Amino acid sequence: MASTVTDTRPGYGQLLRTPRAWTFLLPGFPARQPFAMLTISIVLLVQHTTGSYGAAGAVSAVTGVSMALFAPFSGKLADRFGQRAVLVPGVLVHSASVVTLTVLALSDAPLWALFVAAVPAGASTPQIGPMMRARWGVKLQGSPLATTAAAFESVTDELTFVLGPLLATALCTGITPSAGLLTEAGLTLVGGLLFAAQKGTQPKPSAHDDDHARVKHVSALRIPGVRVLIATFLGIGAVFGGMQVSLAAYSESIGEPGLNGVLYGTFAAGNMLSGVVCGAIAWKISPQRRLLVAYAALTLMASGLWAAQSTLLLAGLGLLVGVCIAPALITGYTLVDKLVAPTGRTEAFTWLTGAVALGQAAAVTVAGQLEDRLWDGAGFLVPLGGTALALAVLVTLRSRLVPKAPGHTVARGVGHRVPVTVD
């Protein structure tokens, strides 16, 4: 179903002039780095101490699974009690857990001990991206800038995936293998607390809101379109996780471990640049169709990774894969704005973030095993398999992404008519 939009769209400059926007944008940027730095820092440190990509991928996967399972719960708590109430204890637990994991890895602790430490490290990862999107949603409700904000947030996410792996790799290979995780813990602590301090821009907690009390126990997961998006975002996570492990293994195999950050940064740069372009386009086709095209292109580009035989070719393919990811991410988050009411969006956004983390966790585990047991580059089959499965789900269930008819509002899965005031 095609849908038209206006011929012009408010630009990023107008968006950034939104009153008080910078009060949460500035502290939010360092606070969202952990999502980009955590798993790759774990892979590099644990591989260094154990000599196994399989073990490194397994520890990283435990972190990712814990993040994926707890993120929606964190989002629901933030919707109900406020973001600050969730963030402050979360960043404290996360920083302490990451430091503990680092100490255990450097002490040659058994693998099970690393798994135990990885659980709270992943579960407490601050969900800054979803919280930022929820803040934009409150400030821009009903404004044409809402779509621009969705694109801006996706571009910012991709910028962190350019800088995060580059920074983590440079720290781990240039200073010490533990430097990546320790820096991640510091950024989480400082950025997270500063972001939490911006109480004036956070969405209003709904715990004491009588209008929402009757639906507060209903999850955004009840919305069929959200479930479809979760399944498709698992495929994006498979790309991130598979690329992290496989590019690290490739760089190690050619004796240039520092090249990993450059290759992953090239992949993420394609993601970021296409996100900038997507946010500037006034689309005249429906987001459902855009999502389908984006996943088809992503699957096609990922199909050549496993056969790349040179660094230059691998970098080029990685760039193209990255270019295809941003449209899928941006369109998915845009659909959340259409499918879910403001009172449930933080939870919905964290379901998608959790799906990426879960897909990434599965991918690093499988890719690590493939790299250890099969040929060099076998891990690149993981992005292909993940995106192909996501595409199949999207083709089959795309009709569930169509929002409800006007006149009904979905609030965490419950439809109701807008109340009318009677004089």
> pLDDT by residue (tens digit) across 51-89?
877 788 788 878 878 887 787 787 778 877 878 888 889
Cα→Cα distances 407→127, 172, 195, 235, 348, Å: 32, 54, 36, 33, 21
Cα→Cα distances 225→136, 141, 260, 372, 390, Å: 22, 21, 36, 38, 14
Chain position carrying tokens 């204890």: 89
DSSP letter for 411, please: E
Query: Which residues lie closer than 8 Å to 142 by C-beta, 6 or more apart?
Result: none
Range list of β-strands (E), 230-385: none
Q: Band the pLDDT of 157: cuts 50, 70, 90.
A: confident
Q: At what angle do helices 179-196 and 33-50 cross, to 10 degrees?
A: 160
**Residue 140: is its pLDDT beyond 80?**
no
> pLDDT by residue (tens digit) across 199-245?
777 777 765 554 444 444 456 667 777 888 888 888 888 888 888 77
Buried b (16+ CB within 10 A) or exposed e, 298-317: bbbbbbbbbebeeeeebbeb
**Residue 251: is its pLDDT beyond 70?**
yes
Query: Which residues lie closer than 8 Å to 85 by C-beta, 6 or more apart?
Result: 77, 78, 205
Chain position carrying tokens 């595409």: 391
Query: Do 154 and 352 touch, CB atoms closer than 8 A?
Result: no
For residues 211 and 320, the model is more confident at: 320
Determine the pLDDT at residue 115.
Answer: 92
Q: Band the pLDDT of 333: cuts 50, 70, 90.
A: confident
Chain position carrying tokens 């807008």: 418
Most confident of 5-14, 197-206, 340-349: 197-206
Handedness of CA 160, 166, 170, 172 (dihedral sign): positive
Determine the pLDDT at residue 128.
Answer: 83
**Residue 13: is its pLDDT beyond 90?**
no
Q: Give the DSSP H/E element, type plus range, for residue 36.
A: helix 33-50
- What number of H helices and E strands is found in the chain? 16, 2
Q: Band the pLDDT of 308: cuts 50, 70, 90.
A: low
> pLDDT by residue (tens digit) across 382-397?
888 888 898 998 888 8
Backbone angles phi, psi at 235, to 5 degrees: -65, -40
User: CA-CA distance, 160 to 169, in Å (whole number)?
Assistant: 14
For residues 212 and 423, the model is more confident at: 212
Domains of the chain, by residue range, sit at 25-206+221-403
**Residue 100: is its pLDDT beyond 90?**
yes
> pLDDT by residue (tens digit) across 109-122?
888 999 999 999 98
What is the average pLDDT value for the chain, to the nearest integer? 77
The CATH label, of 3.40.50.300, 1.10.3720.10, 2.40.50.100, 1.20.1250.20, for the domain at 25-206+221-403 is 1.20.1250.20
Query: Which residues lie closer than 8 Å to 269 by C-beta, 6 or more apart?
Result: 162, 319, 322
